[in-house]
Amino acid sequence: MKRLLVLSWVLMGSLSFGQSEKDVTVKRTLKLMGTRFEITVVAPNEEIGYININEAVSEIKRIEKIISSWDETSETSLVNNNAGIQPVKVSSELFGLVERAKKISEITDGAFDISYASMDRIWKFDGTMDRAPSEKAIQLSISKIGHEKIILDYNERTIFLSETGMRIGFGAIGKGYAADRAKELLVSKQVKGGIINASGDLTTWGTKTTGEKWLVGIANPLSKEKVFSWLPVVESSVATSGNYEKYIVLNGKKYSHIIDPRSGYPTSGVHSVSVFAKYAELCDALATAVFIMGKDSGIHLINQIDGVEVVVVDSDNKIHKSSGIMFNNNP
C-alpha cells in the first residue's frame, strides 16, 4: 500500500505574478484504478476547473484500460494470458512503460520488478498468520519472477513472458505513470497549476492561486499528526512507501507487507520511504525499490541518480536522507 505522509499543502515564498487574482482552486476526490485520487487544479472559474478535472479523469481511465491486470480485455491481460505461448504486439505506450520498468529493475538489482505479479500469495497480513511459510514454499512462490524473463522485441514491438504462469503488474509504477500523463494533458491545455495525488504518488505543476509554492509535509515518525519537515515540490513529484497498516510480527520481528521479489521474504528495517523526482512514475518505482533494498543500499543508489532525492525513516523512527535533501522545519 502506498500512503503519502502529506498533512496539508501550505503557502510559502513571496507573491508572483504568474496567476490572476480571479483564479480559483478546484478539487475533486474519487476512486480510480482501485485507489483514491485527489485532483486539484487552478482555473479561471469553477466550471472550467471541473471540466479540466474531468479531462484528467478520462485520461486516467484510458491508461487503466491499458495497464490493468484485472481487466481481461486490457493489453496487459493479453500479455499475461499468452505467457509461455507467444509474443503479443502492444501499443507503443505499454511497450515504453515495460521498457522503462525493466531498466529500473536493472539499476535496483531486481528490487523493483513488474513480474512480481507472478508471485504466489503465501504471506498473509490479515492477522491469521502465526508462522512463516516453509523455505520450499517461498522459493516456489518466486520461481517465475525475473525481469530478464520479460522479452521485448523492438522491431515487432512485442512483449513475451518466457515462462508459463508468468504475470506482469503495475501496482508499483502504474499510478505514478497515470498521474504523470494526467498532468501532461492538463499542462498541454494551459492549466496554470495543480496537484494530482494518486494515493500517495503525487505530482505538481505551477503554483497556488497566490503564486506561492506547493509544499509537502513529511510527518514526524513519532506523531503522524505533526510535521517533521516541509519540502517544496515545484514542477516535481513525490511518492511514499510505508508499512503503517499492513504488517506482521513473527518471533518479535516486524515484517512489512512489501515482499522482496528476489527472496520471497517480507522486508524489515524500514518504516517509510519518500522519493522526490521530476516524474511520479520514477518516484513510485524507486520508493518501492528503496524500501526493499534498505536504508544504506537505497540511499547509496539514489545518491547516484541525478535529480532524485529520498527521505528514509527506519524501523527505529530515525530519519535519513540523500545528499540533496535540505530540511525546512519552518515553512
- For 188-214, how does the pLDDT look when each residue is reduced to its tens digit (9 = 90+)? 999 999 999 998 889 999 998 988 888
Q: Which three cell numbers stand for residue 294?
A: 534498505
Residue 10 has pLDDT above 80, yes or no: no
Q: What is d(CA 237, CA 206) in angstroms, rounded to the nearest whole number?
A: 12
pTM of the model: 0.89
Mean pLDDT of the region 28-36: 95
* Domain boundary, last residue among 117, 132, 161: 161
Q: What is d(CA 205, CA 55) in angstroms, rounded to the nearest whole number?
A: 17
Please report the pLDDT score of residue 312 as a whole number. Answer: 94
Please report the pLDDT score of residue 298 as a whole number. Answer: 98
Residue recorded with cell 525481469? 147
pLDDT in tens, 247-276: 888 888 888 889 999 999 999 899 899 999
Looking at the domain assignment, is residue 10 inside a domain? no
Q: What percent of the chain has pLDDT over 90?
A: 71
Q: Which three cell numbers stand for residue 325?
A: 535533501
Q: Which one-letter DSSP state was computed for residue 134?
A: P
CB 205 within 8 A of CB 183: yes
Mean pLDDT for the chain? Answer: 89
Residues 114 and 236 in one domain: no
| CATH number for 293 | 3.10.520.10
Mean pLDDT of the region 101-125: 95
Residues 226 and 131 in one domain: no
How many angstroms separate the Cα of 163 from the Cα of each of 78, 79, 171, 172, 261?
15, 12, 21, 22, 16
**DSSP strands (E only) in 33-131:** 35-43, 88-89
Owning domain of residue 317: 24-58+176-321
Count CA atoms closer than 13 A to 230's CA, side-chain side: 16
pLDDT in tens, 290-329: 999 999 999 999 999 999 999 999 988 899 999 998 876 5
Please report the pLDDT score of residue 256 as a whole number. Answer: 86
Tell me which of 72 and 20 has the higher pLDDT.
72
Number of compact structural domains in the chain: 2
Looking at the domain assignment, is residue 303 inside a domain? yes
Looking at the domain assignment, is residue 326 inside a domain? no
Residues 302 and 255 in one domain: yes
Residues 129 and 262 in one domain: no
- Residues with Cβ within 8 Å of 208's Cβ and at least 6 positions away in sequence, in order, are 9, 11, 19, 25, 42, 193, 214
Residues 186 and 54 in one domain: yes
Residue 7 has pLDDT above 60, yes or no: no
Beta bridge partners of 143: none
